[in-house]
Amino acid sequence: MPRPVMKTVRQQQLIDATLVSVARHGLHHTTINTISGLAGLSSGLISHYFGGKQGLIEATFKYLLDELKHALLSRILGKNLSPAERLSMIVESNFTELQRSTAATKTWLSFWSQAVHEPGLARLQHINNQRLYSNLAFSFKQLMAESDAVNCAKQTAAMIDGFWLRSALGSEPEQEFEEAQILCKAFIEAVIMQYGEN
């Protein structure tokens, strides 16, 4: 296997192992050894590819963010969607199978709590927040006055994040994630009916 391909494969193995380790042990008890053990790779590769545990943690967060972006792009690129349909796709991209998996939910929760203390994670979380808001605002602005669109985007972002969090912490996450998607879409429909020009 060519070296660049092998590097990419090994990096992804370490990111996948980090997700599993955080899910099993929590972020504070995830170590270079727990990650390398799960990946079946030398612990030295973590320093080689990521500069250490913190670099790998940030790379894992970036991976989840990239998966969010790709989930949305795969739903909207090359399709002639109405603004309302695009808003629906934004909801779906936040509730994909990966984003509601046990490994991802526990890792997101750990990242959010740690972002308060780690500038690198805080920066990534800010990017995530802004991306969700701007995607929502772009579609809402095509349906209503800009001031209303800004407020509706903020409310919808809070709705998506809030329902995702409640579902992740719920006693029956799978069912609650399904209900959360339905409720978020219903909220968007109600907002469009109230403020929409079309």
Sequence ranges of the domains in the chain: 58-195
| Surface-to-core class of residue 60, CB atoms within 10 Å of its CB (0-12 exposed, 13-18 middle, 19+ buried) | buried
Instruction: Please name the amino acid found at residue 160.
Output: I
Q: pTM for the whole thing?
A: 0.88
- List of the chain residues with pLDDT < 70: 1-6, 196-198
Greatest CA separation for the chain? 59
pLDDT at position 3 is 55
Tokens representing 127? 């990017």
Note the pLDDT of residue 195.
84
Q: Regarding the domain with residue range 58-195, which homologous superfamily does it belong to in the CATH classification?
A: Tetracycline Repressor, domain 2 (1.10.357.10)
**Contact between residue 110 and residue 162 where contact means Cβ atoms under 8 Å apart:** no
Amino acid letter, residue 166:
R
pLDDT at 37: 95
Alpha helices in the chain (DSSP H): 3-25, 32-39, 44-50, 53-76, 83-93, 102-115, 119-140, 146-168, 173-195
Would you state the pLDDT for residue 160? 97
